[in-house]
Amino acid sequence: MLEPLLEVVDLTRSFGGVRAVDGVSFALPKGGSLGIVGESGSGKTTTARIVVGLEQADSGEIRVDAKPRPARARGRAHRLARARQVQMVFQDPYLSLDPRMSVEAVLRETLRLHFPDRDHTHRVRELLDQVGLGTRTADALPRHLSGGQCQRVAIARALAVEPAVLVLDEAVAALDVSVQAQILNLLADVREQTAIGYLFITHDLAVVGSVTDDVIVMRRGSVVEAGPTADVLAAPADPYTRLLLDSVPHPGWNPEQIAAARRAL
């Protein structure tokens, strides 16, 4: 087994007496892709926010490259170094970008903060090419871009700091199915090129099946099933995982069936 790039050990977090994350553990190898699946309220997004540093755990440990990731970073230099370990791409591509800043300005600002001595012009061009945009969009504001293009910009901004781990929190959920496929193909190409590790947070089992190597299934803050994605989806051991699979819309379903499946998730 490959050495873990990211290790999460016995993570817990409570809100108002409710255990949102209850003893969650998992490992992500370098260049690996792990899915965290569950319905709304399962604790998957809280887990992701703790890994990134947007929430603090009550207990547990997070390690990146075998080194403890502190819950808090003291001082600007430590905060920037911590941010370079793990980056996050959010669900809404428009809300995650400053509407007043052009694509190039967004990327330059990130590069200026983390790599002030580098050639930003060349790196901006590299990042735009990497996410399939090219320099034609450099001067555009977010409102002039499609949702898929904005999400590509958000991915480029995250990649600009050269993170070891990229957390994708429902990162394609707001996009049309055809655009989802394009973004997922892009992410697969980036992983192959850079050996970055992905942590996919999603309720969409089709996404999990297409882009992850391993998966954990969460319910009410706890992990109820874990294993290689192909094995879990082919023969789920836990009744809750089977319920999630049975709730996935199938070709030929009518609108009422699709709506009922989405309510179940």
pLDDT of residue 2: 66
Q: Please give the tally of structural domains in the chain.
A: 1
In tens digits, what is the pLDDT along the chain, a chain of 265 residues? Answer: 567 899 999 999 999 889 999 999 999 999 999 999 998 899 999 999 999 999 999 999 999 988 888 777 677 888 888 888 999 999 887 888 999 999 999 999 999 999 998 889 999 999 999 999 988 899 999 999 999 999 999 999 999 999 999 999 988 888 888 888 899 999 999 998 888 999 999 988 878 888 899 999 999 999 999 999 999 998 999 999 988 887 665 444 344 543 444 444 4
Q: How far apart are CA 171 and CA 183, in angstroms?
A: 9
Q: Are strands 59-64 and 214-219 parallel, antiparallel or unpaired?
A: unpaired
Nearest residue to 35 (alpha-carbon basis) of 176, 193, 223, 261: 223
CATH of residue 116:
3.40.50.300
Domain interval for residue 236: 4-264
Neighbours of 94 (CB within 10 A): 14
Beta bridge mates, 86: 165
Q: Report the pLDDT value the prediction gives residue 61, as an integer from 0 to 100.
A: 95
- Rounded CA separation 241/219 (Å): 9
- Output the pLDDT for position 248: 63
